[in-house]
Amino acid sequence: MIIRSARFVKSSTELSQCPSDHLPELAFIGRSNVGKSSLINILTGFGKLAKTSGEPGKTRTINHFLINDNWYLVDLPGYGYAKVAAKQREKWTNTLKEYIIRRENLLCLFVLIDPRHKPQKSDIEFMEFLGINSVPFARVFTKSDKMSRDSLNRSVRDYDTIMLVNWESLPVTFITSTVTKAGRTAILDFIEESMNNFSK
Ligand code: GTP
Ligand code: MG
């Protein structure tokens, strides 16, 4: 997949505000600060398209970026961000769930996971929610530049072990780094394949 153009289209606070042109889209989700916006920036290679921050809770809306004039990458707010008032957090969670379940043109959701931490309940439960609702998703272990290969593999295995209790097979999995650009080509190839299957 070659990215020829990438531009910000709009920020939405609800599903009803999202673009209505039914172009295929792929979205990025995961706990706050895991690197969703940064990954979008290295995938497109168009600089600081999505806003990033060292402070969790940066992305607070559903952001659509139009790629090659015919599909979208979507940057979503993080889940599990404790510093936000409970009421606001509940509203985001409901908005995210509605987007995920009802967005018909969503080809795949990339669930980003920080492998530096032990398997997190919020990540496991979130993927179970996707399974129950038959939402296609892939796992992305981010920030691989911050760990040794051994501890990274151990962390992925820890997730696999927990998931295989309830899942028959494991989802497609990527390892990424915005520093080394690891995983960029693999994800772009996967996106191309998903789009080819979609248009068949
Ligand atoms: P929210 O929008 O707050 O939910 O966060 P986010 O998931 O979009 O994270 P963001 O892309 O803003 O990145 C958070 C921090 O992690 C930033 O300081 C990034 O520079 C850093 N970061 C993201 N990905 C990587 C990576 O692969 N390697 C390293 N070393 N740092 C990363
Ligand atoms: Mg963000």
The pLDDT profile of the chain, 200 residues, written as one tens digit per residue, is 899 999 999 999 999 999 999 999 999 999 989 999 999 999 999 778 888 888 877 778 999 999 999 999 999 988 876 667 778 778 888 899 999 999 999 999 999 999 999 999 999 999 999 999 999 999 999 999 999 999 999 999 999 999 999 999 999 999 999 999 999 999 999 999 999 988 76
The CA angle 173-175-180, to the nearest 5 degrees, is: 155
Q: What is the pLDDT of residue 13?
A: 92
Q: What is the pLDDT of residue 85?
A: 75
Q: Which helix (H) or strand (E) holds 91?
A: helix 86-102
Q: What is the pLDDT of residue 79?
A: 81
Spell out which residues have Cβ within 5 A of ligand 2, the ion. 36-37, 58-59
- Distance from Cα 21 to the centre of ligand 1, integer Å: 30
Burial class for 153, CB neighbours closer than 10 Å (0-12, 13-18, 19+): middle
Q: What pTM, to 2 d.p., does this model score? A: 0.95
Q: What is the pLDDT of residue 68?
A: 96
CB of 155 closer than 6 angstroms to any ligand 1 atom:
no
Burial class for 11, CB neighbours closer than 10 Å (0-12, 13-18, 19+): middle
For residue 159, how many C-alpha atoms fall within 13 Å in the half-sphere facing its CB? 31
DSSP state at residue 199: H
CB of 53 closer than 6 angstroms to any ligand 1 atom:
yes
Q: What is the pLDDT of residue 70?
A: 94
